[in-house]
């Protein structure tokens, strides 16, 4: 499936259906062309496509994702009857996506050094699979 925003089009990726953060099921993964990707000027991503996931667990608290999350809560799939609403919600979400942070090599080096010193605390979910009962409660999906 694909859609348009102005003269630029986006598409839905179907190869990767797992969230890279929580391993839960994604509602969708959008592929944005460079003109919609909003990479910072001079960043490593500038001029390339951008993949943007929508995960019901990881994006559940994000106000900008609420329209699409509500859509998938009501509609199990996109079909002829709801495609116009879906495209409208995707375009609204895309208009408000934050600009990705530019890679800062110096900050990365400092973070790696801090990690080697043991300065980072392990989060309660780090290294645990989604189905681990000791992990925080998440919606089924």
**Inter-residue contact 55 to 46 (CB < 8 Å):** no
Report d(CA 49, CA 61) in Å as an integer: 26
Q: Tens of pLDDT along 109-125?
A: 888 888 888 886 555 44
> Which pLDDT value is given to residue 44?
60
62 compared with 139, residue with greater pLDDT: 62
Residue 103 pLDDT class (50, 70, 90 cuts): low
Q: Tens of pLDDT along 40-93?
A: 666 666 667 778 888 998 888 888 889 999 999 999 888 899 999 998 998 888
pTM over 0.95, yes/no: no
For the chain, give every domain's residue range.
2-108
């Amino acid at each position: 499936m694909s859609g348009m925003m102005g003269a630029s089009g986006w598409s839905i990726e179907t190869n990767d259906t797992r969230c890279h953060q929580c391993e839960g099921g994604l509602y969708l993964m959008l592929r944005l062309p460079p003109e919609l990707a909003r990479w910072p000027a001079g960043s490593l991503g500038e001029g390339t496509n951008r993949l943007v996931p929508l995960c019901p667990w990881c994006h559940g608290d994000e106000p900008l994702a609420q329209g699409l999350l509500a859509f998938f809560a009501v509609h199990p799939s996109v079909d002829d009857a709801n495609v116009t609403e879906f495209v409208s919600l995707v375009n609204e979400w895309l208009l408000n996506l934050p600009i990705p942070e530019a890679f800062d090599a110096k900050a990365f080096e400092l973070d790696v050094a801090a990690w080697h010193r043991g300065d980072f605390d392990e989060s309660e979910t780090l290294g645990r699979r989604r189905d681990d009962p000791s992990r925080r409660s998440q919606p089924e999906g």
